[in-house]
Structure 1
Amino acid sequence: MDSVLQLTPRQRVELFEQTTQQTGIDAVIVEKDFWVCWTLKELFRLPAIGEHLIFKGGTSLSKVFKVIERFSEDIDVSIDRGFLGFGGANEPGAGGSNKEKQRRIEALKTACQQKIALELFPALEAAIKAKAGKSEKWTLRLDDDDPDKQTVLFDYPTSFAPAAAGYIRRLVKIEMGARADHWPCETRTVTPYVAEQFPKGFREPSCAIKVLSVERTFWEKATILHAEFHRPAEKPMPERFSRHYCDCYELIRKGVAKSAAAKLDLLARVAEHKNLFFKTSWARYGEAAKGTLRIMPPEHRLKALRDDYGKMQQMFFGEPPNFDTMLGTLKQWESEFNQQ
């Protein structure tokens, strides 16, 4: 992948536009996809850190498992808790009172913040500088909008004019943390669209990364929707949230939900984990089980959800799923799952 960094901006535009001609994918998306994959490669090759990371979330569904047909622009990476000194008896859920568990979770967050700020960030910045140099216009910065101070933003060197971006943000958002459960996982490869179309132009078109299993990711998504169903009406739905509904719809269509439904122990593990690490007074993770799981949005959220979904149309490859069809599929799956 590093060979692309040796090209001039004009040559990169030509490469990205040639990929667009082959795939029909917007050139701005092709460019950002390259930088997402390149950033993943650099992250997982960081000395003493990379081996303790796991890739998860929506981007893993599109880039690794290829089960969703939209562009996923952010990187969701988790740091192993054991690497931070919170394994075994120090696990937040290893016993003790609820107060003690919360104390461990706060200590884990602090340890993660320090690992990112003092080790991972400088190491990634050095890796980018070694490959991209000083002539490229790029910055790496901590996200000031993240109250947990665990998100890094990579403003990559774009070759396109700002007006061409539309819904696409010209940065790679690397969301990190250490609360995620890393089981089950597997090693897979990730390849940018440019390398898929022109593999002979790359000495190393792909990179190997550790990724959370696709069934686990389905249950992670489903429990996000379950919590959203129970969110108090006065609390606004987060922005760019419709993607979770769309992802679950695609996972149902592709058969992932069916295989996940045979692993109710995994659903229980996800719900228990969220009840510990992402506990709220209203999410009702204890009801995220057969018979009471909710993945459909409540009626009062539909307008906001439809509007949010309309804004993300540029992210799809080909014709986006019809909004009402998507909800109909979710409703049918929810009903069948709860009645089995």
Structure 2
Amino acid sequence: MNNWIQLSEKEKVELINRVSIATGLPNAAIEKDWWVTMSLRALFSCECANHIVFKGGTSLSKGWNLIERFSEDIDIAIDRAFFGFEGELKKKQINNLRRASCSYIKDKLKDELDYKLQETGIEDYSVFIKETQDTTKDPLIIEVLFNSIFTPGSYIREKVLIEIGTRSLIEPSETIQLRSILADNYPESAFADSYFDIPTVIPQRTFLEKAFLLHEEFQKPAENIRVNRMSRHLYDLEKLMDTDYAKDALNSPDLYDVIVNHRKMLTSMKEVDYSTHTPDKINFVPPASIIDIWEKDYETMKSNMIYGDSIPFDKLIERIRELNERFRNIKQ
């Protein structure tokens, strides 16, 4: 039984408000982090637990403590070998893989996740997948909707989105331990959840993938470039760029090439020219046409999601330009 759920709503509100003051995070973010943690714990106790890894921005903050940004959703990669697909895949095999993954997530994993959450005594939530006629949709998103004890805001949503894809790389990863922000602040309390192990993508890979993601995004026509919550990738890159993880990534040509080739073969987009991912051509600096709207997105994120120090947007762009030059200086 999860001891946190035994507390009264008044007790929960008081404790969360204290942690909010201590961390600088909104109270709704503290609450949602608990749901993110419980969802991760449940997911990594499912049948596929030995075949999935935690990745993306939330792994950087919650797993590696490298960024001071509340990351509210979960990115998961599931090993294609779990579905019997290994080695290089042709187009038809990739479609079959996507179909197998989509079917498994919709028909089995969603219900198993729900059962694992119920096992801990957690209530007042629902688990569902948005209806889609696409039987090869990958990644697929499981939504865990919960009833917040706070007045809902416009930015932090009352649901945990668990994006699960089978075309992502599984390695390189390492097993780390994590728990909720509440437990971090009240480790000796009866309601504190314990640490649990979770295989997590290494920061070097996430760093490179974020640079490639932006490079690909900025190849689109200006009107098709995404805006909402996208400035987080700039923030993450700037926070990582002076770490040993980033330095190691920029001195790992094999990892660089593996990621680019994987994106080209398994997650390619028709509007992207993958020959431009090379260090001498890569460009993840936002184009002038979207600078203003990305700045607005960044300011919104700063006020809602960043609980540590952050720099002005113009300084952020300067730093991203500097980082782009570091990529350009990679020896091939």
Normalising TM by the smaller chain, what interval? Answer: over 0.9
3-state DSSP class of the match of 1:205? coil
Structure 2 counterparts to residues 169-318 of structure 1, below 5 A: 169-201=157-189, 202=191, 204-313=193-302, 314-318=304-308
Residue 319 of structure 1 and its aligned partner are, at CA, apart by 4.1
Say if 2:227 and 2:294, in contact at 8 Å, map to a contact too.
no
Aligned-partner residue type, residue 187 of structure 1 = T
2:140 is the counterpart of 1:141: no
Say if 1:246 and 1:326, in contact at 8 Å, map to a contact too.
yes
Residue 323 of structure 1 and its aligned partner are, at CA, apart by 0.8
Q: Distance in 2 between matches of 1:155 and 1:227?
A: 32
Superposed CA RMSD in Å reads: 1.9
Q: Relative to 1, partners in 2 of residues 1:326 and 1:284: Cα closer, same or farther, differing over 3 Å?
A: same
Q: Distance in 2 between matches of 1:234 and 1:160?
A: 36
Larger deviation, residues 17-26 vs 64-73: 17-26
- What corresponds to 2:100 in structure 1? 111
Residue 106 of structure 1 and its aligned partner are, at CA, apart by 1.0
2:58 is the counterpart of 1:28: no
Residues 156-175 of structure 1, C-alpha deviation per residue, up to 9 Å, x if partnerless? 2322122xx34111110000
3-state DSSP class of the match of 1:38? helix
Say if 2:55 and 2:200, in contact at 8 Å, map to a contact too.
yes
Residues 188-239 of structure 1, C-alpha deviation per residue, up to 9 Å, x if partnerless? 0112111011111256421110011110111111100111221123424242
Gap regions ≥5 residues in structure 2: none
TM-score (norm 2): 0.92
Q: Distance in 2 between matches of 1:68 and 1:284?
A: 30
Structure 2 counterparts to residues 5-154 of structure 1, below 5 A: 5-46=5-46, 48-88=47-87, 91-92=88-89, 101-132=90-121, 136-144=123-131, 148=137, 150-154=140-144
Aligned-partner residue type, residue 10 of structure 2 = R
Gap regions ≥5 residues in structure 1: 93-100
Residues 135-155 of structure 1, C-alpha deviation per residue, up to 9 Å, x if partnerless? x32111103489627111001
TM-score (norm 1): 0.90
- What corresponds to 1:327 in structure 2? 317
Residue 59 of structure 1 and its aligned partner are, at CA, apart by 0.1
Larger deviation, residues 61-70 vs 9-18: 9-18
3-state DSSP class of the match of 2:142? strand
Say if 1:226 and 1:283, in contact at 8 Å, map to a contact too.
no
Say if 1:140 and 1:154, in contact at 8 Å, map to a contact too.
yes
Identity of aligned residues (%): 32
Aligned-partner residue type, residue 128 of structure 2 = R
Residue 82 of structure 1 and its aligned partner are, at CA, apart by 0.1
Residue 127 of structure 1 and its aligned partner are, at CA, apart by 1.5
Q: Distance in 1 between matches of 2:160 and 2:44?
A: 15
Aligned-partner residue type, residue 264 of structure 1 = P
Aligned-partner residue type, residue 140 of structure 1 = V
Residue 111 of structure 1 and its aligned partner are, at CA, apart by 0.3
Q: Distance in 1 between matches of 2:278 and 2:132?
A: 34
Say if 2:62 and 2:178, in contact at 8 Å, map to a contact too.
yes
Q: Distance in 1 between matches of 2:149 and 2:28?
A: 9
Residues 245-292 of structure 1, C-alpha deviation per residue, up to 9 Å, x if partnerless? 111111113343212101111111111111112212332222212211
3-state DSSP class of the match of 2:241? helix
Match of 1:160 among 129, 150, 156: 150
Residue 11 of structure 1 and its aligned partner are, at CA, apart by 1.9
Aligned-partner residue type, residue 327 of structure 1 = I
Aligned-partner residue type, residue 216 of structure 2 = A
List 4+ stretches of structure 1 deviating above 3 A: 144-147
Aligned-partner residue type, residue 73 of structure 1 = E
